[in-house]
A and B are shown apart, each in its own frame.
Chain A
């Protein structure tokens, strides 16, 4: 029941915040903040109550459409839990960072924000494939409105592109889901969309490959994977800051989560067969994203392209086929969510002060805003993989695991970290260091802004120095994934 309440809280919180906004915008913000905070606390309490338990912490299941065996089946394990914590943490940051940015139609903004989070929560909890698809699509509509109403200049174009890409790939997944359920019925006589029952479906190798591709394409677009990433720079750049934080921090993670939760366990054989290809695509993504990031003149677009690069590591880790790489991929998901989210918030803060995102307009900001620039440097360093900060742990573990699977690809992927140094330094040098040619004189971080960036820095340090609690939590879930994917260490050269 607690799981259903998590979603209900966000849904009602959204409505309450919309209603409250007609009286006072500040009240709407506080209401949204409180409702997400309640979810955050609830999730933490589920975590502490189940420390060291077996795989599944809680679940609930209700009949929904009996004729098709569709159930309202939610469950939480370590992986879902970590993702939920990230969701609510970034949700709180998203509300805080739009505190002064969003002045028009505040109520409807928070309504959409909370509903996106509700959809994401559903995605991380669904144990019924039909339900999963439902939440998968439901995330889109409020996200579309967030970009389309509060975005920057080319918002309609970006929002529509985002919606169309996701919708087309999502429908491919729906066909695969239906086909899987029908094959299951043909072999067992039971029609069901339940995850655990479908796990054991016996499939012809060629059918499994096609179905896997159906799922994969939906997750590949969200992740995003080269060459399906073209919606990402547009959507991230045009979205309001809170939208970018949620897109980069959470929506991309739903793609990675889908790969770990559904593609690997449902189609172990096919995944192993395609692993070399997937790892290659991952490495291409790492290099391509990094190279393009270096060339951007718009700071927000630069950060957007770094996501393509970082998520390449996640793909590499997921398909490397061993526990270490998979754990690395999860750490990378969490720390990328925080570091990139923070970078988007920083860009938002700069834009609010300077009304531009062009790096050429910046420079020497350290002189006038030492705290903000310092924070910027920390997250730029995190993004380029400085040891001691979160991203390093993720990337290191992924590379360690991938090295066992394929040496040459791993060497190439390492070059991506080199390119990351280039764009990381470009952020640091271009924006914050050097002389101040435009004679900017701007206010430094206020209390609210410290309240956003401070905890995020603390989290980065925590993941960077002591990631063990996260690893312990996700290990049982990942172990279950690994069982169905036998170790793949044959491709070693």
Chain B
């Protein structure tokens, strides 16, 4: 590798190095604060190195990895999300009797895995990145070992993720058998062979693995249980970093400029998108656990992002990316509020925990309201502009069926967001403003996220320009 290649790959290298440093530091002495600080510094350093890497792109390193401005945008997104997760984890873990330090190590590894997905251009790097992410997640989900529900969620995820990985592998093998190439660009080629059996079957099996990670219907069955069982920061991590890496991968390799995805694959993806939007929102209606509600809503939100992917054209990829950025900001904020409200004994997960919250802790409730309204897509929030871009992308390719499903299902979605909002503003007996200490890192993170939700909702121009520039490198 020459110097330019090192520069280009520096975000990944820094992340891996940080993981090693953190591991050694744990071996020397266990100190929660030090490890958390090392991790955060590593993530921030990796984020900063993106600006240096910009000078060395576009660059392909071996046949496995590709660094271009598209990868950099997504890596930036993932690293930001990871740093917010770390900030929320600190206060959360501090309250719990458990070895805390390895948590950060696993977060680092999982984030690295997700970043590898973003930059991979070969079956091998794809699978390695995926497994690095999944294996770290098995542990993270069941990290709180004295919680039975956590263990159950971890095992559920382990079994299902392993089987979906094997389906994915088989799919990759079928595509390889037909084409003799292990490059991810074979996906797009497989779209063309809609008549022949092996590539299409391979593609479907690949979609199983991809769909599992994205938690779209019909591969969504694990989502509510895992969201509910995992510790709150890990739930936030699954909702953002884990899905973001996989979405970046399929957006890069499934993306078709021009008229969007059509043919058999287009039909199947459209069915998946429609089913996700409707099922996600409908299943959330009767839930009473906020984590489960957000789990089902995440299924629907992936469906919305798929609409932009399917639409393609000039706007498809930027719209999907903006949507993801807006969704990440919002969902991190929502889980952040929940993390702050949790106490050492239990997490604030039930709607009843939020009853009358506005009168006890007006600022937190106000932020949570803003996050929920952003998820519902009300103007002035990031979620609205995300939806606006997705709808514009869909309308410019005349994908009316998808758009109408989006409209109807997001109205259904509004209902359960309003249920939580109504609970927060309800009158209860306990109405005195409560004074309680908020952990500093989480408070800072939440303040930044709130600012971002409104910034992305009011002044989208800078991010949109960056995303459009990056999406051009998709060709």
Give 5 CB contacts A-B under 8 Å. A141-B378, A149-B425, A160-B418, A164-B415, A174-B391
- Output the least CB separation between B228 and chain A (Å): 25
Task: Give the contacts of B452-475 with A (CB-CB under 8 A).
Answer: 460-461, 464-465, 468
Residue numbers in B under 8 Å from A156 (CB-CB): 422, 426
Q: A134-B380, A159-B422 known; 11 other A-B pairs, CB under 8 Å?
A: A65-B464, A67-B461, A134-B379, A138-B378, A140-B378, A141-B373, A164-B414, A167-B376, A174-B407, A175-B404, A182-B392
Q: Provided the pairs A65-B460, A144-B418, A164-B414 are in contact, do residues A178 and B392 lie with their beta carbons within 8 angstroms?
A: yes
Proximity bits, A111-154, B CB within 8 Å = 1, else 0: 00000000000000000001001100110110011001100000
Proximity bits, A157-180, B CB within 8 Å = 1, else 0: 001100110011001101100110
Residue numbers in B under 8 Å from A138 (CB-CB): 378-380
Residue numbers in B under 8 Å from A66 (CB-CB): 461
Task: Give the contacts of A23-80 with B (CB-CB under 8 A).
Answer: 65-68
Residue numbers in B under 8 Å from A141 (CB-CB): 373, 378
Is A167 in contact with B411, judged by CB distance below 8 angstroms? Answer: yes
Complex alpha-carbon distance, A362 and B388, angstroms: 51
- Output the least CB separation between B391 and chain A (Å): 6
Residue numbers in A under 8 Å from B404 (CB-CB): 175
Complex alpha-carbon distance, A164 and B409, angstroms: 11
- Output the least CB separation between B281 and chain A (Å): 12
Task: Give the contacts of B420-475 with A (CB-CB under 8 A).
Answer: 422, 425-426, 460-461, 464-465, 468
Task: Give the contacts of A395-444 with B (CB-CB under 8 A).
Answer: none
Q: Provided the pairs A134-B379, A168-B407, A174-B388 are in contact, do residues A148 and B422 lie with their beta carbons within 8 angstroms?
A: yes
Decide if B114 is an interface residue (CB 8 Å cutoff).
no
Residue numbers in A under 8 Å from B422 (CB-CB): 148, 156, 159-160
Is A67 in contact with B468, judged by CB distance below 8 angstroms? Answer: yes
Complex alpha-carbon distance, A69 and B422, angstroms: 36
Is B378 in contact with A137, judged by CB distance below 8 angstroms? Answer: yes
- Output the least CB separation between A208 and chain B (Å): 16
Task: Name which residue of chain A comes closest to B422, CB basis.
Answer: A156
Indicate which residue in B376, B379, B380, B403 contacts A175 across the interface (CB closer than 8 Å): B403
Q: Provided the pairs A148-B422, A178-B395 are in contact, do residues A171 and B379 lie with their beta carbons within 8 angstroms?
A: no
Task: Give the contacts of B386-406 with A (CB-CB under 8 A).
Answer: 388, 391-392, 395-396, 403-404
Complex alpha-carbon distance, A160 and B420, angstroms: 12
Complex alpha-carbon distance, A144 and B372, angstroms: 14
Proximity bits, B340-370, A CB within 8 Å = 1, else 0: 0000000000000000000100000000000
Task: Give the contacts of B256-296 with A (CB-CB under 8 A).
Answer: none
Q: Provided the pairs A65-B460, A67-B464, A160-B415 are in contact, do residues A182 and B396 lie with their beta carbons within 8 angstroms?
A: yes
Q: Provided the pairs A137-B379, A144-B418 are in contact, do residues A171 and B407 lie with their beta carbons within 8 angstroms?
A: yes
Q: Which of B373, B403, B408, B422 has the most CB of A within 10 A?
A: B422
Is A175 in contact with B425, judged by CB distance below 8 angstroms? Answer: no
- Output the least CB separation between B369 and chain A (Å): 9
Number of interface residues, chain A, beta carbon within 8 A: 30
Complex alpha-carbon distance, A175 and B388, angstroms: 9
- Chain B positions within 8 Å of A, measured between CB atoms, are 359, 373, 376, 378-380, 384, 388, 391-392, 395-396, 403-404, 407-408, 410-411, 414-415, 418-419, 422, 425-426, 460-461, 464-465, 468
Residue numbers in A under 8 Å from B408 (CB-CB): 168
- Output the least CB separation between A339 and chain B (Å): 32
Complex alpha-carbon distance, A171 and B391, angstroms: 10
Q: Provided the pairs A67-B468, A148-B422, A179-B395 are in contact, do residues A171 and B388 lie with their beta carbons within 8 angstroms?
A: no
Is A182 in contact with B395, judged by CB distance below 8 angstroms? Answer: yes
Residue numbers in A under 8 Å from B415 (CB-CB): 160, 164
Complex alpha-carbon distance, A156 and B411, angstroms: 17
Residue numbers in B under 8 Å from A144 (CB-CB): 418
Is B465 in contact with A67, judged by CB distance below 8 angstroms? Answer: yes
Task: Name which residue of chain B comes closest to A136, CB basis.
Answer: B379
- Output the least CB separation between A458 and chain B (Å): 38
Residue numbers in B under 8 Å from A140 (CB-CB): 378
- Output the least CB separation between B411 and chain A (Å): 4
Residue numbers in B under 8 Å from A175 (CB-CB): 391, 395, 403-404, 407
Residue numbers in B under 8 Å from A174 (CB-CB): 388, 391, 407
Complex alpha-carbon distance, A426 and B411, angstroms: 39
Q: Which of B379, B404, B411, B415 has the most CB of A within 10 A?
A: B379
Is B418 in contact with A163, judged by CB distance below 8 angstroms? Answer: yes
Residue numbers in B under 8 Å from A167 (CB-CB): 376, 411, 414
Residue numbers in B under 8 Å from A134 (CB-CB): 379-380
Complex alpha-carbon distance, A167 and B376, angstroms: 10
Proximity bits, A93-112, B CB within 8 Å = 1, else 0: 00000000000010000000
Residue numbers in A under 8 Å from B414 (CB-CB): 163-164, 167
- Output the least CB separation between B365 and chain A (Å): 11
Indicate which residue in B411, B460, B461 contacts A171 across the interface (CB closer than 8 Å): B411
Indicate which residue in A148, A163, A164, A172 contacts B407 across the interface (CB closer than 8 Å): A172
Residue numbers in A under 8 Å from B373 (CB-CB): 141
Residue numbers in A under 8 Å from B359 (CB-CB): 105
- Output the least CB separation between A181 and chain B (Å): 8
Task: Give the contacts of A366-392 with B (CB-CB under 8 A).
Answer: none
Q: Provided the pairs A67-B464, A159-B422, A182-B396 are in contact, do residues A164 and B379 lie with their beta carbons within 8 angstroms?
A: no
Complex alpha-carbon distance, A148 and B465, angstroms: 40
Task: Name which residue of chain B comes closest to A156, CB basis.
Answer: B422
Task: Name which residue of chain B comes closest to A105, CB basis.
Answer: B359
Task: Name which residue of chain B comes closest to A104, CB basis.
Answer: B427
Complex alpha-carbon distance, A66 and B464, angstroms: 11
Task: Name which residue of chain A comes closest to B418, CB basis.
Answer: A160
Proximity bits, A325-337, B CB within 8 Å = 1, else 0: 0000000000000
Residue numbers in B under 8 Å from A67 (CB-CB): 461, 464-465, 468
Complex alpha-carbon distance, A65 and B227, angstroms: 36
Is B411 in contact with A164, judged by CB distance below 8 angstroms? Answer: yes
Q: Provided the pairs A145-B425, A178-B392 are in contact, do residues A168 and B411 lie with their beta carbons within 8 angstroms?
A: yes
Complex alpha-carbon distance, A148 and B421, angstroms: 10
Complex alpha-carbon distance, A42 and B135, angstroms: 65
Residue numbers in B under 8 Å from A130 (CB-CB): 388
Is B461 in contact with A133, judged by CB distance below 8 angstroms? Answer: no
Is A133 in contact with B379, judged by CB distance below 8 angstroms? Answer: yes
- Output the least CB separation between A487 and chain B (Å): 34
Complex alpha-carbon distance, A137 and B374, angstroms: 12
**Top 5 A-B pairs ranked by shortest CB distance?**
A168-B411, A171-B407, A134-B379, A178-B395, A137-B379
- Output the least CB separation between A204 and chain B (Å): 13
- Output the least CB separation between B10 and chain A (Å): 31
